[in-house]
Amino acid sequence: MMQKSTQLEKKVLSLRLRGFRELGIIVFIIVISVLIGIRNPRFLTWSNFHDILIDTAALSVLSVGMMLVLVTGGIDLSMESVLALTGMVAGMMVKQNPQLSPFFMLILGLLLGGLLGSITGLIVAQGRVVPIIATLSMMYIYRGITFIISGGKWINAYEMPDSFKAIATGRWLGLSKLIYIVLAVYLVFYYFVNHTHTGREIYAVGSNKEAARIIGINTQFITWLVYAISGALSGLAGVMWVARYASAQNDTASGFVMTIVAACVLGGVSITGGVGTISGILLGSITVGIINNALPMIRVSPFWKMALQGLIILVAAIVNIAIARNMEKSQLKRRVV
Amino acid sequence: MKRQNSLSDRRANITFKWEWLLVILIIGISIVNGRLSSHFWSYTGIMDALSVFLEKGFMVLPMALVLIIGDIDISVASIVALSSVLMAMSYKAGLSMVVAILVALATGAGCGYFNGLLISRIPGLSAIIVTLAGSSIYRGIAYILLGDQAIGGFPSWYSYLAWGYIGGTHIPFIIVMFVGCAIVYGLLLHRTAWGRKVYAMGINPVAARFSGVPVAKIKQIIFTLNGLMAGVAAVFLTSKLGSSRPNIATGYELEVIAIAVLGGVSPSGGKGGILGVCLSLILMRLLRYGMGLINVPGQVMMVIIGIVLVGVVMLPNIFGARRGRKRRLKEAQ
């Protein structure tokens, strides 16, 4: 009985803290938007807001994949290269066969990305290579393969059929189709992460791998799965990205992994594993999207973006740790009383 | 007790075998290189082949220490860029080249100190996230300072650092510098109590802390050293290129880690030594030399280096697991 009530208290407390955290991000978004809006009124228009959402679409899809990997205690640096490789393959395919349907291309992106991701997953899960080393290598390997298959050339806007570019430019009920793709991904993964056995097992593996193994969770499969999912989502994002910017290049999204990690950490995902919510990373992605959109608007040179993103990652990671420690402390106090 | 003995025996055995394997590979690749180019098998040919891109060697030595304590530093390439840019800017601002070089070293050490401070003082903040953020911050600062410009026009003696030979002989200056550094690191790691503590931290950090090893302090020192040596690499790299830009040394972190791991340093900590790292540096250099001879583009080289890195870490794990299972089976019977 006693046990039960403390557990309930713990749950309420963690919920309240999580709510507090997400409220904090929302307040931060509002404050920063108003401040930028004062400097440049164009920022607070509906069309700019819509632009931010479109620009953030690929990022928010990618952060779902990165979150799942981070929750297991790993990290996937290869996402940006999977994105580039899939985007390049998609670009080359629509160049050759303009009649291919956009829907088919999106599915193809998912499958190809999933294949690339599952290779990484095998290396981490079966080969037992430390995630950072495995994914750092795969990042350069996939980037190199992109270069090899394209022969160093770009796919330009005029080489892509309009139907393919319509993935990004097409509207439905006044909103870009990209936004519906993001919504679909978030709904699917909200259900997957919170309401399926496999989804919960991901958190179990991240919180305590050994315990998860002992209670019968196939930790190797879960580890493989998160990398396969993050690859699949990177592939999907690759097709979205190429359609959005209407060009496929060898250095597409080079360095973008920093942005993804920033969005995740800002959204409250713990680097040490076990912690992360779908709603959190959605807010994190939007915040990063707003910052990236606002920098040129308040005439900050684009060269600031890189350093700023690094700083965001660092500060957000430290804040996450402080929150987690506070939570533990208050739990400890309750236990003593 | 018995188990401990067999464990240390096995480790000695593996490092012994590993370094001989590297030597055999070096000989094999040299033979292939010799067939590809008639200039390879000459004293000057080998010396030049080894001295080009040796600046990575300066980064590999402390990276081995970082990996041995079970951490990782992926910000080194960005530290090189920032050190190089600050050195070039301070020279352009009117400081003498010697002072500018000191600026580069101080920048490197400063960045490394900052990494180490965060990693060792804030528990729960892993080296991965700090150096990932660091790699964005340091190169980002370099971009803020210099944009997409380049700074060149250094004094002529400065190019001696990367291209010059020791007076009268045909021994490149950079090789002498590297061998000096390698000996210092080798002695530090293998012949001092401090070095034993480094291994202790890598094998079991908790046990090391409870037996009085100043874990935080050693971590701090190792990350500072790593930054400092990135500064040294920046000095030599800029000397070789003749100019500085914010995008130099891109991708160095992969290669530096790959060389260390290929040299027998385990990324999960506690294993490896300076001799293996130096051999693997030579091996990687000769491999790159050979690939250069047959016109392999840089991007493809990165693919090959990535595959080598993953393969070197993965194969012993797979075979080791199989061997372990067999041994356990035998014990059970």
CA distance B135 to chain A (A): 7
Among B144, B268, B310, select the one facing A137 at the smallest CB separation: B310
Query: pLDDT confidence of B52, banded at 50, 70, 90?
Result: confident
Q: Is the pLDDT of residue A238 over 70?
A: yes
- Mean pLDDT, residues A274-291 taken together: 90
Residue A169: its pLDDT value, please?
Answer: 79
Question: pLDDT value at position A159?
Answer: 84
Q: What is the DSSP letter of A40?
A: -
pLDDT of residue A61 exceeding 90, the answer is: yes
A214's tokens? 């002992």
| pLDDT for position A324 | 79
Q: How many CB pairs under 8 A join A and B?
A: 144
Interface touch B143/A148, C-beta < 8 Å? no
The pLDDT assigned to A183 comes to 93
Domain ranges of chain A: 2-336
Residue A186 has pLDDT above 60, yes or no: yes
pLDDT at residue B9 in the model: 47
pLDDT at A155: 85
pLDDT tens digits, A201-226: 999 998 888 899 999 899 999 999 99
What does the pLDDT look like over A283-331, one tens digit per residue? 999 999 988 888 888 778 888 888 988 998 898 888 888 887 887 787 7
Position with higher pLDDT, B224 vs A326: B224
Cβ of A258 within 8 Å of Cβ of B136? The answer is yes
Torsion over CA: A51, A54, A57, A59 (sign): negative
User: pLDDT band at residue B290, thresholds of 50, 70 and 90?
Assistant: confident
Q: Indicate the DSSP class of residue A237.
A: H
How much is the mean pLDDT over chain B? 87
Amino acid at residue number A213: R
Q: How far is CA B123 from the centre of its chain?
A: 26
Pick the CATH number of A2-336 from 1.20.1740, 2.60.40, 1.10.3470, 3.40.50: 1.10.3470
HEC assignment per residue over B286-315: HHHHHHHHCCCCHHHHHHHHHHHHHHHHHH
A304 touches chain B (CB under 8 A): yes
Q: pLDDT tens digits for B168-188?
A: 777 888 899 999 999 999 999
| pLDDT value, residue B25 | 87
On whether any CB of chain A is under 8 Å from the CB of B261, the answer is yes
Tell me, what's the ipTM?
A: 0.84
- Residue B172: the pLDDT is 87
pLDDT for A101: 87
Quote the minimal CA–CA distance from A17 to chain B in Å.
Answer: 19
Collect all residues of chain B within an 8 Å Cβ-Cβ radius of residue A309. Answer: 136, 140
Give the pLDDT confidence of B131-148 residue by residue, as tens digits. 999 999 999 999 999 988
Say whether pLDDT at B318 is over 80: no
Residue of B132, B147, B303 with shortest CB distance to A303? B147
From residue A95, alpha-carbon distances to A113, A157, A165, A336 in Å are 19, 10, 12, 67
The residue in chain A having the minimum alpha-carbon distance to the alpha carbon of residue B141 is: A307
Does residue B324 or residue A93 have the better pLDDT? A93
Higher per-residue pLDDT: B130 or A7 = B130
Task: Give the closest residue to B158 by CA, choosing from B80, B60, B231, B238.
Answer: B238
Rounded to whole angstroms, the Cα distance separating B81 from B93 reads: 18
Count of residues making up chain B:
333
Least Cα separation, residue B124 to chain A (angstroms)? 7
Position A76 scores a pLDDT of 93
Report pLDDT digits (tens) over A251-261: 888 888 888 99
The residue in chain A having the minimum alpha-carbon distance to the alpha carbon of residue B144 is A303
Instruction: Report the residue from B147, B314, B321 with minimal CB separation from A123.
Output: B314
Sign of the alpha-carbon torsion through B253, B289, B285, B15 = positive
Residue range A22-31: average pLDDT? 84
pLDDT in tens, A136-153: 899 999 999 999 998 888
pLDDT for the residue A8: 60
Confidence of residue B100 (pLDDT cuts 50, 70, 90): very high
Within 107-126 of B, beta carbons closer than 8 Å to A belong to 118, 122, 124-126
Residue to mutate among B132, B250, B309, with most A CBs inside 10 A, is B132
Query: Could you give the C-alpha distances from A51 to A168, A179, A293, in angstroms and in order?
Result: 11, 11, 9
For tokens 């066969």, the residue is A97
pLDDT tens digits for range B185-212: 999 999 999 999 999 999 998 899 899 8
The predicted pLDDT at position A118 comes to: 94
Winning range, highest mean pLDDT, from A61-65, A125-129, B3-7: A61-65
Mean pLDDT, to the nearest integer, of A113-123? Answer: 95
In this predicted structure, what is the pLDDT of residue B16? Answer: 56
- A24: Cβ contacts below 8 Å, ≥ 6 apart: none
Q: Closest Cα of chain B to A324: distance in Å?
A: 10
Cα gap B150→B52, rounded to integer Å: 22
